Amino acid sequence: MSSIAAAPATALAPERRSLSPWQFWGRALVLPYIAVFLVFVLYPVGYGLWLARHPASYVKLFDDPIFFRSAVNTVVFLVVAINLKMMLALLLSGFFVQARWWIKILSALFILPWAVPSIPTILSVRFMLNPEWGVINSTIFRLTGLDGPNWLNDPTLALSFSMLMHIWKSLPFWTLILVAGRLAIPSEQYEAASVDGASMWQKFRFITWPSMRTLYLTSTILSMIWTLGDFNSVYLLTGGGPADLTHVLATLGIRYLRLDQVDLAMASIVVALPLVLPLVYFMMKRLSK
């Protein structure tokens, strides 16, 4: 063991000739995860790709108008909902870093949508939007005597509400991340800028944004990857309806699966891979440093 004592403190574990107890236990302890990965990730993914090997599946998929609509919905969801959410999160992070006792309390309440499971709150919103008994249409009726719209029966409105639901649920998380980013900026920079007479916009433009840019981009990309897998916001609110017009790729795959069309389900996922894999590659580069 003298080689370790002589090595500098930052050195890695020294090379060993035979399998030392350290290397033996290293392999033994990493084994459970490798087993999980092989059995529940590698094999399913490989099997799934094998199921999606027939070109006929893709022909069938592209002939399905529901697939085309879902792909468009997914792009709209990613572009509109995520950018809106991240911009709101950036704005609100500036609000939540203000030192006020009531903002501290508010920030504890603000995290509630993230802290509670999504099903009860999504179903709560679904019932608010109920055309006959929902609180929104009852209020419209009481105030104006008119019947409110059948919110979830209009594909555009229904998809918009799914996006709002998604924003409601995940805005607190991203705001928290960006608050942490803002708190990491040394306050001397702002003080110096104040002395020089910088406006609020100038402080944001020349101090906040340059130090937050990378974090903001990373967060947006990570949010895109997660949102591609967001099944609940759409399925539990609209069920993909009316007439299967509000599906996104996350719910479409499950729809095909339940219709026992696994090849179509896998094909719809494979089609999304050219979009997903570059995002995944970008995130892995950033996080494995």
For the segment 174-193, give every residue that binds other proteins (CB under 8 A): 176-177, 180-181, 184
Q: Which of residues 110-169 bind other proteins (CB under 8 A)?
A: 110-113, 115-121, 123-125, 127-128, 133-135, 138-139, 142, 168
288 is a contact residue toward other proteins (CB under 8 A): yes
Q: Which of residues 250-269 bind other proteins (CB under 8 A)?
A: 250-251, 253-254, 256-257, 262, 265-266, 269
Instruction: Tell the smallest beta-carbon distance from residue 62 to other proteins (Å).
Output: 18
Q: Under 8 Å CB-to-CB from 233, ≥6 apart: which residues?
A: 118, 122, 162, 163, 165, 166, 169
Q: Which stretch binds other proteins (CB under 8 A): 25-33, 59-67, 78-86, 152-160?
A: 25-33
244 is a contact residue toward other proteins (CB under 8 A): no
CA angle, 74 then 174 then 188, to 5°: 140
Residue with tokens 């020294």: 14
84 is a contact residue toward other proteins (CB under 8 A): no
26 is a contact residue toward other proteins (CB under 8 A): yes
Distance, in Å, from the CA atom of 251 to the CA atom of 272, rounded to the nearest integer, reads 13
Instruction: Tell the smallest beta-carbon distance from residue 74 to other proteins (Å).
Output: 11
Residue (of 167, 173, 177, 171) closest to 212 by Cα position: 177
Q: Specify burial of residue 161 (Cβ count, 10 A radius: 0-12, 13-18, 19+).
A: buried
Which ranges constitute the DSSP H helices of 209-248? 209-228, 232-238
109 is a contact residue toward other proteins (CB under 8 A): yes
